[in-house]
Structure 1
């Protein structure tokens, strides 16, 4: 009887010691590697990076077969917000993520296709490496993430990390078994544009906008129309092309300032005297993009600047166009206005 009691006591003691360790190993799938602000070098002994790296290498070794089979990808998120602009932050975040991956590839003997990488121009100066886990282990992982968030030095850092953790939890059940890809979590895209005000005046207008990064975009709009009536005695025809560079501001990147150049030709004969010639100019634009859904938005814009028009006057006599002289006009003021439908292509 005493042997049974001794055995039971020993068994219970082993359970109390071993079970928390096992539970911690299952949940302990997130490692944070710190970087010096504005630097991209991965210093292993700095800020506890060596401890995190050893812990991650041990976990990779215990699950190496599953990782190499592509069933358990490593999620790598590079962060940087200490540079002067978003483009530089994203570039540094990408280098940081690659340096951590290189360290794991060399030490753990895994491959590039075993990673899924995202880079962010927010959050702080660190790289997060995570292993996807089954949905039933999400609660344990969330508890660990909350503990790490509490250690962040700023409220903004905690919020950004919490947002990143929530996004990863939502994606984890679909990421396993998918091909490896590197994706920047930014608003890069190409959009088709149509100025509805131009279309309302029977002047077809189409354009494209390429968002180089969340803060910068390049847009080009073109218009063309040709109408005649009263036995061709009246005419309304023109073509224009207007390239524009934009800088988007604010947290939502909805307001913007831009610089536009405009060139084209026209032929108007609304009265007895017609005008045909060239126009050229440019100016400053401003506007606001109202997002309707994931694919559509309305762009309200106004341009102020300078236009020069060189044209000749003419009259039509017995079906023959007779020249009446040349004229040049300069205009300072509104040069462009639009309510533009924006359709995100990809």
Structure 2
């Protein structure tokens, strides 16, 4: 009995002597950073990473001297198992480890040689950082620092959420502006002349108003240059063919469209044709030829239709015969030639842009 009491006393005494030593031994502290499966980007505010990072930075700061003197290395283990092969998993695990180390190097001011790194193609999608630090009792200052770290982590999380909300609102505003612009494109406007067509058909409404059919074609070589050709033809007789109004004309034109909106233009026109007028006792039949400078304005009605207001100034030469009709027979009464300087062309032309209505 006495032997048993002595043995128990010896064990208790040894335990009491070893307890302070055990309290000074070191224990591993592990910090885990989560990664999105199959991704290698380190998202600090995601899945609690910000709080883990704040705790780790606090621990590094408390042990900075030992870490920088290589007495307390940071043990980094990278893991990945969400890819198809071991090679891909190891490569991604390595990138993840480097991302975490770069964050610590930037924020804590430590160096690459302060890390011991290993990478694994098993277990999950995360990176762990371990430090073997002395175990000590928590103090009031430690609790305050922990609370401050939590506050900072929460502030970072709220800031990240605010940035994400701002990006979402900016994207919605961009889509709304695009929709508004598309709506404006569908309404009559002179803000823009589109270049989504190359050819257009033309009809001079002033000519049609005088019972002179007129049609033309324009080729837009580029937004600034176009080539247009208009032609007119008519033949009318009345009073038992004693009165006559007949002519044909063709007028090619080169145009230069000016400004950002391409609605104003200057051009050069050539005109040629024949005529036969008998609106009184004496008729006139002959040829005309000339040319000049044109100017105009394009008013957009919709994506497919424009109105073209134009005026031409220049020179025309008319070489014709005069005649009378006696008993149904035309009798020649001489020749004349006349030169004309002034307006040589005017038009309010309806323009149909071929293909523009199908461009959007």
Q: Give TM-score, length-normalised by structure 2.
A: 0.48
* Structure 1 residue 341, shift from structure 2 partner: 0.2
Kept after mapping to 2: 8 A contact 1:274/1:314: yes
1:111-150 alignment runs, 5 A limit? none
2:174 maps to 1:203? no
**Distance (Å, rounded) in 2 between the aligned partners of 1:262 and 1:6:** 95
2:320 maps to 1:339? no
* Structure 1 residue 10, shift from structure 2 partner: 1.0
1:50-89 alignment runs, 5 A limit? none
2:27 maps to 1:18? no
2:260 maps to 1:251? yes
Number of paired residues?
190
2:287 maps to 1:278? yes
Kept after mapping to 1: 8 A contact 2:212/2:234: yes
The gaps in structure 1 that reach 5 residues or longer are: 24-138, 147-161, 171-184
* Structure 1 residue 188, shift from structure 2 partner: 4.4
Kept after mapping to 1: 8 A contact 2:205/2:349: yes
Q: 1:208-251: CA deviations, max 9, x gaps?
A: 00100000000000000000000000000000000000000011
The counterpart of 2:338, out of the listed 329, 335, 339, is 329
Q: Give TM-score, length-normalised by structure 1.
A: 0.50
Q: Which residue of 1 aligns with 2:201?
A: 192
2:209 maps to 1:231? no
* Secondary structure of residue in 1 paired with 2:32: helix
Q: 1:106-165: CA deviations, max 9, x gaps?
A: xxxxxxxxxxxxxxxxxxxxxxxxxxxxxxxxx99x96xx9xxxxxxxxxxxxxxx99x9
Q: Which residue of 1 aligns with 2:276?
A: 267
Q: 1:275-319: CA deviations, max 9, x gaps?
A: 000000000000000000000000000000000000000000000
The gaps in structure 2 that reach 5 residues or longer are: 1-27, 47-162, 183-193, 356-360
Larger radius of gyration: 2
* Secondary structure of residue in 2 paired with 1:18: coil
Aligned-residue Cα RMSD (Å) equals 3.3
Q: 1:228 to 1:20 in 2, by over 3 A?
A: farther
Kept after mapping to 2: 8 A contact 1:188/1:213: no
* Structure 1 residue 187, shift from structure 2 partner: 4.6
